[in-house]
Amino acid sequence: MYRIGQGFDIHKLVEGRKFILGGIEIDYDKGLLGHSDADALVHSIIDALFGALALGDIGTHFPDTDSEYKNIDSLILLKKAYNLVKQNGYKINNLDNTIMAQEPKMKPYIPLMQEKLASVLEIDKSLISIKAKTMEEQDSVGNKKAVATQSIVLLIKNTNTQ
């Protein structure tokens, strides 16, 4: 049995924050604003995982009103989300992601993101696609005010009885 989930996230770019995306720190003069480390890519992946199994969204499981999640590394949240996927008897078949950012250029960082995410999700990095697009200087992303991400995951029932 297959389950498909879609996730989306957007975070405002601000001064005085580290720019964390896909589990890695990117050298840039601004960072993403949020309650956690604001890793928009990881957040959209979490929403895709939860969506595939109709388990709600990231805010349901990790609310921004809970001090436990203040400045937390989003990879910790991703691990918890993936553990729920496994507890429900599924594994990742493949994961497709799009980063929408006018700056900085993402291409040099994508292989590192794939490795980091593959490690947390216990899958081969060849199962993780990450694409980057600019918004052609349109909207808040194109005007360098935000970064948005979209993720789609295909889960498959895990037939291994571990």
- The pLDDT assigned to 56 comes to 96
Distance CA 161, CA 53 (A): 20
Residues of the chain with pLDDT under 50: none
Contacts of 39 (CB under 8 A, 6+ apart): 20, 21, 22, 23, 32, 74, 75
Q: Taking the domains of the chain in order of start, what are their residue ranges?
A: 2-157
Q: End-to-end distance of the chain based on CA atoms, in angstroms?
A: 18
- Mean pLDDT, the chain, integer: 95
Q: 86-106 pLDDT, tens per residue?
A: 999 999 999 999 999 999 999
Distance CA 54, CA 77 (A): 17
User: What angle (nearest 5°) sits at the alpha carbon of residue 155, between those of residues 63 and 19?
Assistant: 45
- The pLDDT assigned to 161 comes to 52
Q: Where are the alpha helices (DSSP H) in 62-131?
A: 74-87, 110-121
CATH homologous superfamily of 2-157 = 2-C-methyl-D-erythritol 2,4-cyclodiphosphate synthase (3.30.1330.50)
pTM of the model: 0.95
- The pLDDT assigned to 16 comes to 96
Distance CA 60, CA 69 (A): 12
